[in-house]
């Protein structure tokens, strides 16, 4: 039985590493997670933030790791898109999670991810950094891909933004120096960035600028909503939620709303995005702490479940029937 006097540990099993609590960094193993938190695993409950699409085999492997190697007392798993909405007090919405490795659009209705409408693309934050490095090298900066990518990534996070109107922003960059700024690398070299600041993250919305075959973030969101049942679409358009570090660029929410509005207007057969918006309200939530929404939702859920022992899969259940325990632990 779980020790209710011990707070549950939250682990986010992401594509780019393992994170716990609200740490911004990744850990290589669960051992390092518990060491970083300064707590012992044995006898403690574990709430795992599970990526959508986790197979039954992967889930069973994680339960085996939790119960047999770390000897936790109980486990609960919930999908990351659902936890993102929990952090905002919601049960329904389109969660757009932008990470280093790619972007995912997950329609959630009443706490249930619609598997047939889930969409993803393998274009994310790492491509923005690679694009920025390439643009700077084209300007004549002697930057090697291996040694400078980390430094350029820092510049990306500090200076890049998404243009709401790409053509107008490009015209402004050609005719003025209002957007030009200087960034100093760790080695002391200084970079002068102008149009590169918005041209690099453009790959998230238009992957073809890097020759990548992917729909782009707005198209991804639109396609996911259109794949949902028609009765659900209005609610999803009205509650799009940005999450993940790749969504932190200034202008991201405004650009997403504008492009999705244009796509919806085109689908509706009108000539103007504004005309389409009169019948369909399109809203994008982009809270400041959206990089940590999964953790915040998981923490809230763990607190709610503090005294709900029956909701957790116990070590005893695992010992009696691992397959059944894994099935009960599965989300959605």
Residue 184 sits in the same domain as residue 232: no
Residue 239 sits in the same domain as residue 114: yes
Write out pLDDT tens, residues 195-206. Answer: 999 999 999 999
Residue 50 sits in the same domain as residue 108: no
Cα–Cα dist 311/329, whole Å? 9
Residue 223 sits in the same domain as residue 118: yes
Whether residue 64 lies inside any domain: the answer is yes
Cα–Cα dist 198/250, whole Å? 10
Tell me, rounded to whole angstroms, the distance of Cα 140 from its chain centroid: 34
Residue 281 sits in the same domain as residue 297: no
Name the DSSP letter for residue 27: B
Q: What is the pLDDT of residue 146?
A: 64
Task: Determine which of 12-21, 77-86, 161-170, 215-224 has the lowest per-residue pLDDT on average.
Answer: 12-21
Write out pLDDT tens, residues 56-95. Answer: 898 999 899 999 998 999 999 999 999 999 999 999 999 9
Among 204, 225, 251, the domain boundary falls at 204
Cα–Cα dist 266/240, whole Å? 19
Total number of domains constituting the chain: 3
Residue 219 sits in the same domain as residue 266: yes
Whether residue 177 lies inside any domain: the answer is yes
Q: What is the pLDDT of residue 15?
A: 46
The set of residues, in sequence order, having a beta carbon less than 8 Å from that of 17 and lying 6+ positions away, is: 25, 26, 27, 28
Strands ordered across the beta sheet of 9-14: 17-20, 9-14, 45-50, 74-79, 313-314
Among 174, 204, 234, the domain boundary falls at 204
Residue 62 sits in the same domain as residue 101: no
Residue 147, CA atoms < 13 Å, CB-side half-sphere: 6
Whether residue 45 lies inside any domain: the answer is yes
Whether residue 209 lies inside any domain: the answer is no
pTM of the shown model: 0.88
Task: Determine which of 20-34, 197-211, 225-239 has the lowest per-residue pLDDT on average.
Answer: 20-34
What is the average per-residue pLDDT within 223-240?
97
Among 170, 204, 238, the domain boundary falls at 204
Residue 65 sits in the same domain as residue 51: yes
Which residue, 207, 228, 231, is CA-closest to 218? 207
Q: What is the pLDDT of residue 26?
A: 46
Q: For residue 109, give its domain range.
A: 89-122+215-286
CATH number at residue 138: 3.90.640.10
Residue 235 sits in the same domain as residue 263: yes
Paired tokens of 22: 């609200």
Residue 108 sits in the same domain as residue 137: no
Taking each helix axis from N to C end, the angle separating 252-268 and 217-227, rounded to the nearest 10 degrees, works out to 50
Whether residue 2 lies inside any domain: the answer is no
Q: What is the 3-state secondary structure (H, E, C) of 155-202?
A: HHHHHCCCCCCHHHHHHHHHHCCCCCEEEECCCCCEEEECCHHHHCHH
What is the average per-residue pLDDT within 176-193?
89
Residue 115 has pLDDT above 90, yes or no: yes
Q: What is the pLDDT of residue 273?
A: 47
CATH number at residue 306: 3.30.420.40
């Amino acid at each position: 039985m779980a020790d209710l006097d011990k707070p549950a540990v939250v682990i986010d099993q992401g594509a780019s590493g393992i994170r716990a609590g609200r740490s911004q960094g990744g850990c290589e193993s669960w051992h390092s997670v518990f060491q970083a938190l300064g707590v012992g695993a044995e006898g403690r409950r574990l709430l795992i933030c599970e990526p959508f699409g986790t197979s039954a085999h992967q889930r069973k492997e994680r339960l085996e790791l939790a119960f047999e190697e770390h000897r936790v007392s109980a486990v609960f798993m919930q999908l990351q898109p659902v936890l993102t909405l929990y952090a905002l007090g919601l049960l329904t919405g389109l969660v757009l999670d932008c990470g280093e490795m790619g972007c995912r659009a997950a329609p959630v209705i009443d706490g249930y991810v619609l598997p047939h409408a889930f969409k993803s693309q393998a274009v994310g934050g790492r491509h923005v950094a690679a694009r920025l490095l390439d643009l700077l090298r084209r300007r004549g900066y002697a930057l090697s891909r291996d040694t400078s990518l980390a430094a350029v990534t820092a510049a990306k996070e500090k200076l890049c933004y998404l243009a709401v109107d790409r053509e107008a922003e490009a015209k402004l960059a050609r005719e003025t120096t209002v957007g030009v700024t200087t960034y100093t690398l760790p080695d002391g070299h200084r970079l002068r960035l102008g149009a590169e600041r918005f041209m690099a993250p453009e790959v998230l919305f238009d992957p073809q600028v890097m020759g990548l075959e992917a729909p782009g973030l707005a198209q991804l969101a639109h396609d996911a909503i259109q794949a949902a049942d028609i009765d659900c679409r209005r609610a999803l358009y009205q509650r799009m939620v940005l999450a993940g570090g790749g969504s932190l660029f200034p202008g991201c929410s405004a650009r997403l709303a504008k492009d999705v509005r244009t796509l919806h207007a085109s689908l509706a057969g009108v000539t103007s995005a504004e005309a389409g918006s009169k019948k369909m309200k399109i809203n994008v939530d982009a809270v400041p702490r959206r990089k940590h929404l999964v953790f915040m939702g998981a923490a809230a859920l763990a607190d709610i479940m503090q005294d709900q022992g029956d909701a957790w899969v116990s070590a005893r259940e695992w010992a009696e029937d691992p397959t059944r325990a894994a099935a009960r632990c599965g989300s959605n």
